[in-house]
Amino acid sequence: MAQHSNSEHHAKTLPADLSAPAFVDTWRTRALIIGCIFLALAIILGFLSGDHWSHFLRAWLHGYMICFGFCCGGMALLMVQYLSGGKWGLIIRRPLEAMTRTLPLVFLYFLPVGIFGMTFGRLYIWSKYADWATALKEHLITIDQAHAIHFKHAILNPVGFWCTSLVVFTIIGTYVFFLNKLSLKRDADPEPNFRYWQVKFENISGFGVLLYAIMLFISVIYWVMSLDPNWYSTVYGFQFLVGEAYGVLALSILTLIALSKADPIKSTFRVTEQHDMGKLCFAFVMLNIYLAFGAFLIIWSGNSPEEIPWYLDRIRGGWGVIATLDFVFHWLLPFTLLLSANLKRIKSRLAVVCCIMIFARYWDMFWLIEPNFKDAARNLHFSIGILEYATLPVAMISFWMAYYFTQLKKRPLIAVNDPHLPQILEPEHAHA
């Protein structure tokens, strides 16, 4: 113990080689293999299900929203850490940048949603039955739906969908480009210029966070909320925003824990910062349930026929089981586990909580998407098609992970030229 504590009293030196360790390549290979297997399974299921690839497309939307969350939520958290400062932000920065650089793949994932889901009307009934009067006459939609499609036509129309989506991707892409470019430039700056860089990133991020929130709110309204054109909720975008941070934080901690087996993360990822990130996870677990339960409580109290069916679709007919498990995975398990201070300081246990949190996002997205469709609302039943949700998103996330690992390898894992750098090399509690 004497030796152990002596070594803790001395500051460490930054490893000479800051690039990602070689085993990241192994991760990528594994991710690709898993992706291929699950994609093959998803395609086989698509042929077997006989629902004209309907569930395949729904599962595609599911996988797309999860990957979009990782990529763009990563960008949001990247900007938040520039604004908040803190040592945790320095250690988490490069993984977050790697997530943002996956945007091209996420855009590719979006295209089938836009083309098949919207333009061919396979997902969104407002585009399939844009001619609501005829559809109503043929009893394809209810009178409420016809009214909603008619009334919301100003927003829910193909031009609006495509323009909004493309503008959102352009703006996010611009931000991703500049955030990544400037970060490398900062590394290469021969002078420290701490103040200059800090102010520069703060200025970009301050407006960026606000702009991103608006972009996300608009796009989730189009991509997910409009699956049910009758329903609306003003807190919907905010729930996605918090949910993204929830998933991204869990993924970042998992990445850092896995990378900490070797340098450079091994000698820079201290228990102090790990504990801080665990606490931040706890905060997001609380904020998430606050929004989700708050929205539910308000709609439950209001008991209005325009709002309540959305929840009834997701509770009745067996969906209550899914909703309850969603609550368990999303809040009960992470909350009770993260209450413990010790757990947040032990890597293997914190990693388990992070896995639960990512799984919770997956589960929640299923609960959000599937009951929008007529065959599934208030009727949770087994079909071959529903298995798509267990295969296609896994494949999409695996391919996304492979791309993420590729991006992770492209840059040094620690951003230098930051006043926090000497601090994370100090022994734990050296501030005391």
Partner 1 sequence: MPVREGTYGLLAEFDSPSQLVRAADGAYQAGYRRMDCYTPYPVEEAAAAIGFHKNTVSLVCLIGGLLGLATMFGLETWISVWAFPLNIAGRPYFSWVAFAVPAYEWTILYAGLSAAFGMLFLNGLPQLYHPLFNAPNFRSGATTDKFFLCLESTDPKFDLTETRGFLDRYTPVSVVEVEY
What is the binding site for partner 1 (CB under 8 A)?
1-2, 5, 9, 293, 296-297, 300-301, 303, 339, 341, 428-429, 432
* Alpha-carbon span 92 to 55, nearest angstrom: 36
The radius of gyration of the chain's CA atoms, rounded to the nearest angstrom, is: 23
CB of 428 to partner 1, least distance (A): 8
Distance CA 307, CA 142 (A): 16
Closer Cβ to partner 1, 125 or 338, answer by number: 338
Of 10 and 52, CB closest to partner 1? 10
Q: Which lies closer to partner 1 via its Cβ, residue 5 or residue 13?
A: 5
- The least CB distance from residue 397 to partner 1, in Å, is 33
Min dist CB 340 to partner 1, Å, is: 8
CB of 110 to partner 1, least distance (A): 36
Q: For residues 204 and 308, which CB has a smaller minimum distance to partner 1 in the complex?
A: 308
Minimum CB–partner distance for residue 9 and partner 1 (Å): 7
For residues 75 and 175, the answer to whether their CB atoms sit within 8 Å is yes
Min dist CB 8 to partner 1, Å, is 8
What distance in Å separates the CA atoms of residue 277 and residue 365, rounded to the nearest whole number?
24
Name the residue nearer to partner 1 (CB basis): 167 or 297: 297
Residues 42 and 204: their CA atoms lie apart, in Å, by 41
Neighbours of 231 (CB within 10 A): 19
DSSP 315: T
231: tokens are 């329903």
What is the Cα–Cα distance from 277 to 254, expressed in whole angstroms? 11
Shortest Cβ distance from residue 290 to partner 1 (Å)?
A: 10
List of long-range contacts for 330-337, beta carbons under 8 Å, 24+ apart = 330/285, 330/288, 330/289, 330/292, 330/357, 330/360, 330/363, 330/364, 331/285, 331/288, 331/289, 333/360, 334/281, 334/282, 334/285, 334/360, 335/282, 335/285, 335/286, 335/289
Phi, psi of 298 (to 5 degrees): -65, -45
Q: CB-wise, 185 or 429, nearer to partner 1?
A: 429
Q: Which is nearer to partner 1, 43 or 315 (CB)?
A: 315
Report the residue number, 199 or 339, with the smaller CB distance to partner 1.
339
The DSSP secondary structure of 27-89, one letter per residue, reads HHHHHHHHHHHHHHHHHHHHHHH-STTHHHHHHHHHHHHHHHHHHHHHHHHHHHHHHH--HHH
Residues in the chain: 432
- Closer residue to partner 1 in complex, CB, 179/424: 424
